Amino acid sequence: MDTTQLTAAVDRHFGDMRTLLEDLVRIPSVSAAGFPAAEVRRSAEHIADLLRSEGATDVRLLEHEGAHPAVYGEVKGPDAAPTILLYAHHDVQPPGPAEEWETSPFEPFERGGRLYGRGASDDKSGVVMHLATLRAFAGKPQATLKIFIEGEEEVGSAHLADFLAAHAELLRADVIVIGDAGVWRVGTPGLTTSLRGLASCIVEVRTATHAVHSGQFGGVFPDAITSLARLLATLHDDEGNVAVDGLVSYDRPEPDLTEEEIREIMGTPPGLHQIGSGGLASRLWTKPAIAVLALDAPRVSEAINQLVPVASAKVSLRIPPGQDADAAVEALRTHLIDHAPWGADVTVAGVERGSAFRLEPSGPAAEAWWEAMRSVWGTEPVEMGAGGSIPFVADFSNLFPEATILLTGAGDPTSAIHAPNESQHLGELRNSILAQVLAIHALG
């Protein structure tokens, strides 16, 4: 088929692909602990059936003890053609507070050209991109396509290294396309070339073995919540820059990014000040960022007149490419211990880490995707970073050092991934599918 025929095939079948996305969203494949593992398995089995229906062979669930299942299938191309591995994940984040959704998070609905529902963008749109690619080629792609759909990305891909090691030959490819990123903005495509890593922990502050009356004993020794608040405040300087010593931080060229866009996406109060220094893109992509994600302390509705003896917080540190994750964890741990307020007992546990990554968008595969995006969107693509983490990119790179890795996807900055009312812009999904099809056609 030529590019005109491929474009017609994508458009002819896009309605079916939209229906597939709706069906996938209806499966509550939440991989987090406390949610039914059976639903993640049901999602995997459904995707395996979809792969078979699109002509894939060797379709199977990949299993590992204690892991949610992944899905594999392949479609053979010509003997001399390259092999391309198409990755996405079928597990999703928990829905969060039901009252913040306009409708049920697992009952998709369309409004304003967007399909709403948990996982509609992250990352069931990536699953649909790969299924639609198979449909467009009608079982005869110009390259051998291997499809690998993971089931644990939203819980840190804890077993992905095990899957890769166990199935290295099955998954080996010349090009690895990770469909878990997105576009620069609606109407402008991009390839993601840098990812921040992660170093997080749970810090606990203890000031007594048990609670005592706040009136009788307040004023001599501090309570744990006040002590924890003072400790957390040391993580930033007065301008809001990260104040942990020993972390990598650097500036990068600024793409077309504005404060107004970020304010609109986040819904910030008009008077809220920025934190940190340097360009916006640098603060999002190549400088460290610290956030307090959660606190364990009595709820306001449960408060009584006592000096609370222990309180804890989950601290998340995002690290830029070039920062060793182990060194970042140690720097954060050292800072928290060294800044214990008033001699309080501070312990650090629950450490999580993930490597940052930098990709080089060059070579035949990258050029095929750049040119396909130019053709489909009619504008110049953006080389962009991502403030979030996909630590397993390093696992792919370490196991397949000769492969070209590309980060693509269909979501956009307003997709509200991980948040209530997540959505996928359907026009961007169509364009992302078509760009992937044309790139594979050109590369083959």
DSSP secondary structure, 208-277, as one string: -SS-EEHHHHBTTB--HHHHHHHHHHTTB-TTS-B--TT---------S--HHHHHHHHT--TTPPP-SS
Given a contact cutoff of 8 angstroms between Cβ atoms, the answer to whether 206 and 200 are in contact is no
To which residue do tokens 């130019």 refer? 374
What's the first-to-final CA gap in the chain, in angstroms?
Answer: 12
- Burial (CB count within 10 angstroms: exposed 0-12, middle 13-18, buried 19+), residue 432: buried
> Which pLDDT value is given to residue 317?
97
Residue 16 clears pLDDT 80, i.e. is over it: yes
Given a contact cutoff of 8 angstroms between Cβ atoms, the answer to whether 152 and 68 are in contact is yes
Name beta bridge partners: 405: 176
Distance CA 396, CA 26 (A): 30
Angle made by CA atoms 365, 371, 375, in degrees to the nearest 5: 145
Residue 257 clears pLDDT 90, i.e. is over it: no
> Which pLDDT value is given to residue 386?
84
**pLDDT, tens digit (0-9, with 9 covering 90-100), for 85-100:** 999 999 999 999 999 9
Name beta bridge partners: 202: 314, 349
Per cent of the chain over pLDDT 70 is: 100
> Which pLDDT value is given to residue 192?
93
Mean per-residue pLDDT for 393-414?
92
Residue 391 clears pLDDT 90, i.e. is over it: no
Q: What is the DSSP letter of 382?
A: E
Two tokens at 309?
Answer: 């003896």
CA torsion through residues 13, 191, 403, 282, sign:
negative
**pLDDT, tens digit (0-9, with 9 covering 90-100), for 351-380:** 998 888 888 888 999 999 999 999 999 999
Two tokens at 351?
Answer: 């450490």
Average pLDDT, the chain: 95
Distance CA 40, CA 42 (A): 5
Which residue ranges form the domains of the chain, and what is each CATH number?
A: 3-195+356-443 (3.40.630.10), 197-252+283-354 (3.30.70.360)
Distance CA 130, CA 176 (A): 12
CA-nearest of 258, 281, 288 to 384 is 281
Distance CA 286, CA 250 (A): 6
List, by residue number, the catalytic residues: 91, 153
> Which pLDDT value is given to residue 255?
74
CA-nearest of 123, 204, 213 to 407 is 123
The pTM score is: 0.89
Given a contact cutoff of 8 angstroms between Cβ atoms, the answer to whether 316 and 202 are in contact is no
- Burial (CB count within 10 angstroms: exposed 0-12, middle 13-18, buried 19+), residue 261: middle
Could you tell me the pLDDT band of residue 46, with boundaries at 50, 70 and 90?
Answer: very high
Given a contact cutoff of 8 angstroms between Cβ atoms, the answer to whether 231 and 372 are in contact is no
Could you tell me the pLDDT band of residue 337, with boundaries at 50, 70 and 90?
Answer: very high
> Which pLDDT value is given to residue 302?
93
CA-nearest of 91, 74, 92 to 83 is 74
**pLDDT, tens digit (0-9, with 9 covering 90-100), for 289-322:** 999 999 999 999 999 999 999 999 999 999 999 9
Residues near 84 by beta carbon (within 8 Å), at least 6 away in sequence = 143, 144, 145, 146, 173, 174, 175, 176, 177, 440, 443
Given a contact cutoff of 8 angstroms between Cβ atoms, the answer to whether 147 and 57 are in contact is no
Mean per-residue pLDDT for 104-123?
97
Distance CA 140, CA 142 (A): 7
> Which pLDDT value is given to residue 444?
86
The 10 Å Cβ neighbour count of residue 152 is 23
Length of the chain (residues)? 444
Query: Coil, strand, or helix at residue 364?
Result: helix
> Which pLDDT value is given to residue 398?
87
> Which pLDDT value is given to residue 212?
94
**pLDDT, tens digit (0-9, with 9 covering 90-100), for 154-167:** 998 889 989 999 99
Q: What share of the chain is helix, strand, coil (3-state, %, to 5)?
A: 35, 25, 40
Mean per-residue pLDDT for 258-266?
89
> Which pLDDT value is given to residue 362?
84
Amino acid 174 reads D
Could you tell me the pLDDT band of residue 226, with boundaries at 50, 70 and 90?
Answer: very high
> Which pLDDT value is given to residue 56?
97
Query: Coil, strand, or helix at residue 286?
Result: coil
Distance CA 151, CA 91 (A): 5
Mean per-residue pLDDT for 411-419?
95
